[in-house]
A and B are shown apart, each in its own frame.
Chain A
Amino acid sequence: MNLRLTHKPLPGLLLIGVALAVAPFVVQAGLGIYWVRILDLALLYMMLALGLNIVVGYAGLLDLGYIAFYAVGAYVYALLASPQFGLHLPFWLVLPAGAAIAAAFGVLLGAPTLRLRGDYLAIVTLGFGEIIRIFINNLDRPVNITNGPQGINLIDPISIGGLSLAQPQVLIPGLSSAHAYYYFFLALTLLAIFICIRLQDSRIGRAWAAIREDETAAEAMGINTRNLKLLAFAMGATFGGLSGGLFASFQGFVSPESFNLMESIMILCMIVLGGMGHIPGVLLGAFLLTILPEALRYIGDFQRAAFGHVIVDPSDLRMLLFGLSLVLMMIFRPAGLWPSTQRRRELGQGGEQVPGLYDEQR
């Protein structure tokens, strides 16, 4: 699918726009305000997934520690806009600062790992993610910086021109915090999508694709692989840092718990499940994997309806079914739910020519 806006018929675009605008109200009417917050989270995860997609989908660098940048962004926001140090800087200062510091961490991670390939890179990034988390978890002694496992509370909400997104009803009656954040996140997600589309079609995007397909050949073609890989890490980290800051302000609370390895894996699952390197697929994957665990909370009600009482504790069953659905979705759609046409074509050919396992070039 081509996402270039000029190719889209205008009515369709308008329809999508209207649907996105009324979505939180429809959801609130149908499912309640809790689900509007889930929508907010889904948008947040979409931004995160788009960022990781730059690293994994575009440049082909398997990153299992992506959540570290999210954590850096979140903690920068938390430290600069909360009672922890008594600082209350405005969000338009703190968010870019968080994104920039995350980008610096991205380069810090990228620089020593440039020579590593595939799974070695995966484990190093994983280790990096764990290192950041352990530091955050333990930097409450001897000097209290991160407040350790308790996390940082009472983080300032984002406030635009006197309108606090935590209490928008003060200025606009009837608008709840979840709605306000929805529109704010939606605007940023659309911006992120736009940046990703432009990146993908740019000289840089094509260079990334070349590195992903064959690094040696790309280098022979005069592509500066070192700088471009660093750029991919930095770009992905910027997205991560930004989303982290948004997350901190949205939740009002951060703790090291939110940034464990499982979260990194979750975001990777989103992009692989949706269709790696393909923006609509990535968005779909992020949306589904945010919604699915929440939707599975209702299995308790389902059991009550079907058997008259709860047989297995739904919170136990929830992640079990989630794991199962990951396996099933991958078995039936190995290229992702919504792969790009190019990728689908490649796979179609691959299946007819040589079985992948026996293909040394794989």
Chain B
Amino acid sequence: MDTFLQQLINGLVLGSVYALVALGYTMVYGILELINFAHGEVTMIGAMVALSVIGALVGAHVDLPGIAIVLVGVLAAIPACMLLGFTIERVAYRPLRNAPRLAPLITAIGVSILLQNLAMVIWGRQYISFPPILPRTTYHLGGATLSALQIFIFVLSLVLMAGLIVLVQKTKLGRAMRATAQSPQVAGLMGVNINSVISLTFIIGSALAAVAGVMVSAYYGIAHYYMGFLLGLKAFTAAVLGGIGNLGGAMLGGLLLGVIESMGAGYIGDITGGFMGSNYQDVFAFFVLILVLVFRPSGLLGERVGERA
């Protein structure tokens, strides 16, 4: 029971980060039907920028509490990622709007490789460690341990997601986004400036990715130029699990994937009689994904798209 609760907590925290990144995938997909492969890399750049700022502040012995320093780092990472997301869309995707479907996928992969190696040139190949400036308070909850950082990550993710839902459901921009997702052509006729809506979608997604990047690096204590790849892959899996193009689906998929993964890591040894260890945790996640899609081909919350006539 203790393991169960502990893995549930770990899974929910990790899952909330997946959900934040997955939202970026799903928003772009909802509007452009494009798998933005470079989104994981945006997350990585966010973590790297934040860590550079945090490292510089810590190195200069600035007399600020740890949380404030991290906050400054996040505030530096957000605009950097927004600019990056905007630029990626402008340079790599917009010229290809009328191109065959797979062409933007290749530019997305190209941008992803480009950013990864750019980060490697700038920040080097080594792991960058997160300075130990955050309070390490832990709480005990029915046999499980819960750190202040975990609570903070989880709560902040929920707040950001709630904010995004309000933005999409209640504001004028959100209405324009939903209209563009339904039919860009008609939305354009109704006076929606599609280009700026698409740009803003990328910007918002990238801002969420920046926050998620800092969270991941703070949680694991390290950042690396390659970290965006696996994170992006997991987040995309989460988005598909929930039903790609669906905001609620991305959140559900993210949380679920996080829980499945940590449960898998915690129990897979017992289930298989010690044959498989926690190194099979990714297999578990993908296996559940395949299983879900076999029974619900458009994801958990995805709309059943009618066959095209």
* B-binding residues in A (CB < 8 A): 56, 62, 112-113, 115-117, 119-120, 122-124, 126-128, 130-131, 134-135, 137-138, 141-142, 214-216, 261, 265, 268-269, 272-273, 276, 312-313, 316-320, 322-327, 330-331, 334-335, 343, 347, 350-351, 355-362
On chain A, the residues within 8 Å of B92 by CB distance are 327, 331
On chain B, the residues within 8 Å of A272 by CB distance are 102-103, 105-106
On chain B, the residues within 8 Å of A356 by CB distance are 97-99
Is B112 located at the chain interface by the 8 A CB criterion? yes
A184 to chain B, nearest CB (A): 31
For the A-B complex with A120-B240, A316-B117, A358-B184 known, give 16 more contacts whose Cβ atoms are closer than 8 Å. Answer: A112-B294, A124-B290, A130-B283, A135-B283, A268-B106, A276-B102, A317-B117, A323-B111, A323-B113, A330-B99, A330-B110, A331-B96, A334-B99, A335-B99, A357-B98, A357-B184
On chain A, the residues within 8 Å of B275 by CB distance are 142
A-B contact pairs, 21 of them (CB 8 A): A62-B102, A113-B290, A113-B293, A116-B293, A120-B293, A123-B236, A124-B293, A127-B237, A127-B286, A128-B286, A214-B308, A215-B307, A216-B307, A320-B114, A323-B112, A323-B117, A330-B106, A335-B99, A351-B98, A356-B99, A357-B32
Number of B positions contacting A (CB below 8 A): 61
On chain B, the residues within 8 Å of A361 by CB distance are 308
On chain B, the residues within 8 Å of A347 by CB distance are 100
A210 to chain B, nearest CB (A): 14
Question: Closest chain B residue to A219 by CB distance?
Answer: B307
Question: Closest chain B residue to A148 by CB distance?
Answer: B279
| Complexed CA–CA distance, A215 and B308 (Å) | 9
A123 touches B289 (CB 8 A): yes
A269 touches B35 (CB 8 A): no
Give 9 closest A-B pairs by Cβ, nearest first.
A326-B110, A323-B114, A323-B113, A334-B99, A127-B286, A358-B185, A320-B117, A327-B110, A356-B98
On chain A, the residues within 8 Å of B29 by CB distance are 119
Question: Closest chain A residue to B239 by CB distance?
Answer: A123
A120 touches B283 (CB 8 A): no
B280 touches A319 (CB 8 A): no
Contacts of B180-223 to chain A: CB distance below 8 A: 183-185, 188
| Complexed CA–CA distance, A261 and B290 (Å) | 17
A121 to chain B, nearest CB (A): 9
| Complexed CA–CA distance, A126 and B184 (Å) | 29
B110 touches A316 (CB 8 A): no
